Structure 1
Amino acid sequence: MDVKLDFDATKLFIALKYQILVAMECCHLLGDDESLWIEVFGDVTVSDKKQIEVKYYADNLTDSHHNFWKTLNNWLKPEFDCRKYTNLVLLTTQIFGENASLKSWDSLTAEERLKVLEDIYNAAEARLAESDKAIASKSLKLQREVLAYERRSDLMDVLEKMQIATDQPNLTERIARYQKQCLRAVWDHRCDEYMNDMFGFMTSPILMTSGWQITGQAFTSKTRELTSRYMAGTLKFPEVDHEMLECTANGMDVQPRRFAKKLSEIGADSSIRDATVDLLCAQHYISELIEDCTVSQSDIKDYTRNQYKSHISSRRSYLVDCPAGLSIADLHKKSQKFYFERCALQVDRLCGYDHTPSEFRNGIYQMLADEEPSTRSQELHWKMWE
């Protein structure tokens, strides 16, 4: 379908994505205890510091443009307390109109800005009086509201803090600028994936339905997670105190545990201690990796699920080749051989890590073997019999 329908909402979604991108840029400046809100107090609001109205338009920003006057009017509403903010910013992709009186806005004092507004308003009223029109334009109606005498004190507070950032790059250009400024550690061919994941985080249903608040700490965690996933270079697994974990394993009674029982049933009791150490290592690694925000819980789940599927398929293959009528001793040997071969396999890498320790993968095996029977469609077993 090449013809767009008259209710095509593409421009609306582009404008929303642009707004989210502006919010992402602001998030990089948040402290851990600071927050940013989207569409709660305005387009983008930074903890008692800055309120930004984001406009994605192609036409010029003229003296009578509704973007300017509507933004002013919004900031004058009783429910908006401009005293909470240091800066009020109208950020727009528009350029000033050739004859716009607003061009020098940022260099003017609040009193000078008021004079500019009054001149624009008086000229608009004069044009209406000279015309045949009986009804004022939407822009003039907004001007009347903004310059109403009873709002003058609030208006002066707003004018003192208001800035206009015009000629902002379009969406494609702004994304390219963001990638250059913030994603230098990410592979070039993975930047789009990073951006898609970050946009997904910023617009996640959980955030949107709980006040659409992004904390500095949450944004930092997501940035670390995505950077480690898509970064150029290598990542190192966290350190593990193997001696301490071995001592811990020695003092544990794991015989009642499912993973230990499954080793006992194939006659591999001598391997239970090493299996316990692997399990403790995997638990330690997972805790450290998630705490460091280098992987997410979903990354661990994906890795675990892949190991589970690989194990189930491999065991089925071994069972097909296992002849019927074997003695218990031979079944134990077959089962132990399967177990040791699985533990000796080359380890699949976790995310972007250059080296994934075998005790991490083997510990995942033990965690799977330790699960309750109803957790997955099939239990993880080592035995070569059904």
Structure 2
Amino acid sequence: MSSKSDASTKILGFKYQEMVALKECFEAKDGTKIYLECLGDVSDGKISTEVKHSIQDDKKLIDTHIDFWKTLYNIIEEYDTFRFYDKFILHTTAEIKKGSIFEHWETLDKYAKKKKVISIASNKTIKKYSNKVKKFDSNGLEDILDKFKIKDNQKSAKEYYIDVLVNHIAIISIIQEPYRKPFLCSLLGYISVSLIESEGYKWEIDIESFRENFRSFAKQYEIQDLKFPISSVTADKTSKGNFHFVKALEDIGYELKIGLSMNNYLKASDSQFKIIKARNSLSENLENYDEDIKDIVLELKISHIDQLTSKSDINEKSRRFFDDGIEQVSSKTKIEGITNTRAYYPKGRLLHNIEVKNININLDTKNESN
């Protein structure tokens, strides 16, 4: 390999580290800071990750691999700080070699890990690091190894860029496919600039600031709201025996509403299927919408039950409750991420709630569930 190629692979390793840090930024908790080249390659103050990248597809993590021993050495060097960490991770594109001390690493306790580590004969490559490890306090070494995780066979830079970052839910949920790479480049640029603009060259990413910039960059590329897909499905009355909501309407003597209700239910179900097929990221919004419909109708039900008297015709009052429920939800056509929702959708989702027994339209409190 030429010196220029060798330099390029080293630079790629640094870029890979930035990509791993970006993923951590996507998934970080509120109030977190992500540090690069400080207390590990990537750290959030509780977890320290050493990131090792190789362009070799068949790279193996062997007993005397410098990446492991140098990582352990660095933790020991800063143990007074690292002792309060919850986890140490070696993130490597190398694959654990069968028969090495790292095979089945996750199943070993700290004592077995220490025994294996201490048993490895040193060589010229790891001598400096292994000597430090073997001389370190036994209890301290056990504490470190107890928290030491190995994520081997991780995706290489090109794969990581596409599979992990470009296709991350934080990206695909709001950015149209043609613009995901340009958007991601903006975020990676933000990671780099954070070092350039840092105080005292301490490379840290404040998550609140990151999210503000994320939103700012995203405005250029955001996915437009999905236009509500209209359904032309019609009900086959011969199948009405398959639906619980039909029986519920029959039980309160409201056969007149069965045909229209079946149309609303089936159209809404068909539209929902089309929405999810077009944009799966809206699934949670649709679930939240169904929950809102349920809450509206259950609150309405309480007021209808409150108006019952000993002389009330329960079936007649239940029919009025059903009508009021349909009327009240029919205007609830605003769904986050969707435009031009048709009135049949909220009506159909009310019927869905009846179908899955989240709502009982019979006001007879003796048979009350919801």
Per the shorter chain, which TM-score range?
Answer: 0.5 to 0.7
Report the TM-score when normalising by structure 2: 0.55
- Structure 2 counterpart of 1:147: 134
Structure 2 counterpart SS, 1:37: strand
Cα distance between partner residues in 1 of 2:4 and 2:192: 27
Instruction: Give the counterpart of 1:137 among 108, 120, 124.
Output: 124
Query: By how many angstroms is 1:208 displaced?
Result: 7.5
Tell which structure's C-alpha radius of gyration is larger.
Answer: 1
Cα distance between partner residues in 1 of 2:39 and 2:128: 23
In structure 2, relative to structure 1, the CA distance for the partners of 1:208 and 1:26 (3 Å cut) is farther
- Structure 1 counterpart of 2:70: 70
Instruction: Give the counterpart of 1:186 among 175, 194, 197.
Output: 175
- Structure 2 counterpart of 1:27: 25
Q: Deviations over 1:112-169 (max 9, x none)?
A: 10111122x2xx26xxxxxxxxxx4122442222111x43232112111110000000
Query: By how many angstroms is 1:100 displaced?
Result: 1.4
- Structure 1 counterpart of 2:94: 94
Structure 2 counterpart SS, 1:232: coil
1:203 is aligned to 2:205: no
Residues 207 and 214 of structure 1 are in contact (CA less than 8 Å); yes or no, is this contact kept in structure 2? no
| 1:32-47 correspondence to structure 2 within 5 Å | 32-47=30-45
Structure 1 counterpart SS, 2:220: helix
Q: Deviations over 1:11-51 (max 9, x none)?
A: 1111111101111111123233221111122200103x200
In structure 2, relative to structure 1, the CA distance for the partners of 1:186 and 1:31 (3 Å cut) is same
Cα distance between partner residues in 2 of 1:214 and 1:232: 26
In structure 2, relative to structure 1, the CA distance for the partners of 1:103 and 1:215 (3 Å cut) is same
Q: Deviations over 1:37-95 (max 9, x none)?
A: 11122200103x20000000232100110111111011001465222211110100000
- Structure 2 counterpart of 1:163: 149
Q: Deviations over 1:211-265 (max 9, x none)?
A: 2111110111122122221122169xxxxxxxxxxxxxxxxxxxxxxxxxxxxxx
Cα distance between partner residues in 2 of 1:102 and 1:8: 28
Cα distance between partner residues in 2 of 1:34 and 1:175: 23
In structure 2, relative to structure 1, the CA distance for the partners of 1:78 and 1:216 (3 Å cut) is closer
In structure 2, relative to structure 1, the CA distance for the partners of 1:160 and 1:98 (3 Å cut) is closer
Cα distance between partner residues in 2 of 1:234 and 1:225: 18
Cα distance between partner residues in 1 of 2:41 and 2:201: 16
1:228 is aligned to 2:226: no
Residues 82 and 157 of structure 1 are in contact (CA less than 8 Å); yes or no, is this contact kept in structure 2? no
Residues 52 and 90 of structure 1 are in contact (CA less than 8 Å); yes or no, is this contact kept in structure 2? yes
Unaligned runs of 5+ in 1: 126-135, 236-386
1:56 is aligned to 2:53: yes
Aligned residues: 218
Cα distance between partner residues in 2 of 1:14 and 1:193: 19
Query: By how many angstroms is 1:195 displaced?
Result: 1.4
| 1:240-251 correspondence to structure 2 within 5 Å | none
Query: By how many angstroms is 1:186 displaced?
Result: 1.1
In structure 2, relative to structure 1, the CA distance for the partners of 1:72 and 1:175 (3 Å cut) is same
Query: By how many angstroms is 1:188 displaced?
Result: 1.7
Cα distance between partner residues in 2 of 1:163 and 1:192: 31
Residues 32 and 215 of structure 1 are in contact (CA less than 8 Å); yes or no, is this contact kept in structure 2? no
- Structure 1 counterpart of 2:344: none
- Structure 1 counterpart of 2:207: 216
- Structure 1 counterpart of 2:331: none
Query: By how many angstroms is 1:179 displaced?
Result: 1.5
In structure 2, relative to structure 1, the CA distance for the partners of 1:17 and 1:209 (3 Å cut) is farther
Cα distance between partner residues in 2 of 1:111 and 1:162: 12
Report the TM-score when normalising by structure 1: 0.53
- Structure 2 counterpart of 1:112: 112
